[in-house]
């Protein structure tokens, strides 16, 4: 079964053709260069660029896969969560294709797609497992009980880990995408030179909080500038990275031990972070836990991950129709039900 999948939740216009866990094509048109001018994603510009690129990206995905529209079995699309205008471009395009081709439409939750990116690279991976999903907008600790069955046991109370990285990078004058740049220039952490607070959350055993750390970093940078001092940018970047990874790893490993998981999975854009990967790998190996994370090409937003999750959503009967709409925020546990459905 060949599925054409569409992803347009933020600033990447993507289309892919997936058959099971096999990627036949995966095309991504990025808007990074344009948004870099503004230091971050401008939603109105993102929506406009999706509209301009989506047809060409889809045609290229079909061409690379060596098939035509008549060879498709279903259309999948990210419908939540994300920038509402950006999501609407993909959803409406997918609905049009589904109607024109008279084939099923499969709505896919963006974060479920990020988790499913691991299925593309790891044929042996199957639920149940514990997954840490980390990105610019989300920090989520989830028990993946089945391919469409999720239980959130921890989440951020405020800012996501990726947002902390991005805001720190911006305050340090690094270019967009900030989290990537911060990771690239970071050298060795120095908690003595930069005694940043350790994030702490009252209650919520597996919850996260990064707003205090973000604020402390920004205040440190501003105070140093007011005193005509100089920040050692690579060292401060490394210290922030260390603090964020400390909390992510600590909470994930505690949850794995407490809840009896022997398999840990990383997902989302921040799963590409070099320190998170290396330290989590070492800790899991020491504890005898299996660790999976996606290859770098599938860490960021892409349509292949949406396509592989779509096959499981379709098998579970989670199909869309003309009533499908984009949703800016939606819990990962929520299974899609068509408008008016009572089941």
Q: Enumerate the domain spans of the chain.
A: 2-115+299-315, 127-294
pLDDT at 342 exceeding the cut of 60 = no
Instruction: Give the pLDDT score at 198.
Output: 84
User: pLDDT by residue (tens digit) across 196-229?
Assistant: 998 777 777 899 999 999 999 999 999 999 999 9
User: pLDDT by residue (tens digit) across 250-261?
Assistant: 999 999 999 999
Beta pairing partners, 146: 149
The three-state secondary structure class of 185 is: helix
The three-state secondary structure class of 242 is: helix
**248 alpha carbon, distance to own chain's centre:** 15
Averaged pLDDT for residues 12-34: 96
Instruction: Give the pLDDT score at 268.
Output: 96
CB 82 within 8 A of CB 110: yes
Averaged pLDDT for residues 33-59: 94
Share of the chain above pLDDT 70, in %: 99
- The reply to whether 127-294 shares the fold of 2-115+299-315 is yes
CATH for 2-115+299-315?
3.30.420.40
Q: Two tokens at 205?
A: 């055993």
Instruction: Give the pLDDT score at 39.
Output: 85
User: pLDDT by residue (tens digit) across 130-139?
Assistant: 999 998 889 9
Q: Assign 340 a pLDDT band (cuts: 50, 70, 90).
A: low
Mean pLDDT for the chain?
Answer: 95
User: pLDDT by residue (tens digit) across 279-312?
Assistant: 999 999 999 999 999 999 999 999 999 999 999 9
Vertex 106 angle, CA 100 and 112, to 5° = 150
pTM for this prediction:
0.94
Q: State the Cα–Cα distance between residues 197 and 76, nearest whole angstrom.
A: 43
Please, what CATH class does the domain formed by 127-294 belong to? alpha beta
Instruction: Give the pLDDT score at 6.
Output: 98
Instruction: Give the pLDDT score at 337.
Output: 80
pLDDT at 339 exceeding the cut of 80 = no
User: pLDDT by residue (tens digit) across 261-273?
Assistant: 999 999 999 999 9
Query: Do β-strands 12-19 and 22-30 pair in parallel, antiparallel, or remain unpaired?
Result: antiparallel
Quote the DSSP letter at residue 74.
E
φ/ψ bin of 20: left (φ > 0), alpha (ψ from -120 to 50), beta (otherwise):
left
Instruction: Give the pLDDT score at 200.
Output: 76
């Amino acid at each position: 079964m060949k599925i054409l999948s569409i992803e347009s939740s933020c600033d990447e216009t993507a289309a892919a053709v997936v058959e099971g866990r096999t990627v036949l094509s995966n095309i991504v048109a990025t808007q990074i260069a344009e948004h870099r001018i503004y230091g971050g994603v401008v939603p109105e510009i993102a929506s406009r660029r999706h509209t301009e690129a989506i047809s060409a990206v889809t045609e290229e995905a079909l061409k690379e896969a060596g098939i035509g529209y008549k060879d498709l079995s279903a259309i999948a699309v990210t419908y939540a969560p994300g920038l509402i205008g950006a999501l609407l471009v993909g959803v409406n395009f997918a609905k049009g294709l589904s109607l024109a081709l008279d084939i099923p439409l499969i709505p896919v939750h963006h974060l479920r797609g990020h988790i499913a990116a691991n299925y593309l690279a790891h044929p042996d991976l199957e639920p149940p497992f514990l997954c840490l999903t980390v990105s610019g907008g989300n920090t989520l600790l989830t028990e993946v009980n089945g391919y469409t069955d999720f239980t959130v046991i921890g989440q951020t109370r405020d800012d996501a880990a990726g947002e902390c990285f991005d805001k720190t990078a911006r305050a340090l004058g690094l270019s967009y995408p900030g989290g990537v740049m911060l990771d690239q220039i970071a050298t060795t952490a120095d908690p003595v030179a930069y005694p940043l607070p350790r994030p702490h959350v009252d209650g919520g055993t597996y919850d996260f909080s990064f707003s205090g750390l973000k604020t402390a970093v920004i205040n440190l940078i501003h105070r140093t500038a007011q005193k005509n001092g100089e920040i050692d940018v690579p060292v401060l970047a490394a210290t922030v990275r260390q603090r964020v990874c400390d909390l992510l790893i600590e909470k994930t490993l505690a949850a794995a031990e407490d809840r009896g998981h022997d398999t840990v999975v990383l997902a989302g854009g921040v799963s590409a972070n070099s320190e998170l990967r290396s330290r989590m790998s070492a800790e899991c190996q020491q504890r005898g836990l299996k660790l999976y994370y996606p290859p770098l090409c599938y860490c960021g937003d892409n349509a292949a991950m949406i396509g592989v999750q779509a096959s499981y959503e379709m098998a579970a009967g989670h199909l869309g129709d003309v009533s499908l709409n984009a949703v800016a925020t939606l819990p990962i546990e929520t299974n899609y039900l068509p408008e008016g459905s009572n089941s």
